[in-house]
């Protein structure tokens, strides 16, 4: 089997299902990962899912993905708006990265309107709840079969 696609979930995403369900819905992180795994398997691909509340660990996973994965779906949570380290790690690897947000960040507080990740990602998907992850995975699955 080919290299996996990494799914990186940032801080507080381990609380999905109970954390602000009016914003993030009722799906748990396990629900999302299970659907992504099924979707990848339907395309004869694999994914590896990670969640971290620690910026440095996310940087290490991105660096690791540079040689072990074909792409990254990343929801960096609040680090999206603060982390030059994560942006620099993405810039240092040569695989496609799709930025994901479950909520429409442009309908929320102004500080959420800026992303350090967007300029170094191939695209951004936001506002579709848990389906945002599936849309991002589809992009990477198509990219890996057409390229």
Active site residues: 24, 101
- Residue 103 to residue 127: CA distance in whole angstroms: 4
- Residue 77 to residue 13: CA distance in whole angstroms: 7
Q: In Å, how far are 4, 62, 83 from 40, measured between CA atoms?
A: 9, 20, 29
Neighbours of 20 (CB within 10 A): 11
């Amino acid at each position: 089997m080919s290299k996996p696609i990494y799914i990186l979930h940032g801080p507080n995403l381990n609380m999905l299902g109970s954390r602000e369900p009016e914003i993030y819905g009722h799906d748990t992180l396990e629900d999302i990962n299970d659907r992504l795994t099924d979707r990848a398997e339907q395309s004869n691909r694999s994914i590896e899912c990670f969640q971290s509340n620690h910026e440095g660990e996310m940087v290490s996973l991105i660096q690791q993905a540079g040689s072990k994965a074909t792409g990254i779906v990343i929801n960096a949570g609040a680090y999206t708006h603060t982390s030059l380290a994560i942006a620099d790690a993405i810039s240092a690897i040569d695989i496609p990265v799709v930025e994901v947000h479950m909520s429409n960040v442009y309908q929320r507080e102004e500080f959420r309107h800026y992303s350090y990740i967007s300029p170094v990602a191939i695209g951004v998907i936001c506002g579709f709840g848990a389906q945002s992850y599936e849309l991002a995975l589809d992009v990477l699955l198509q990219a890996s079969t057409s390229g």
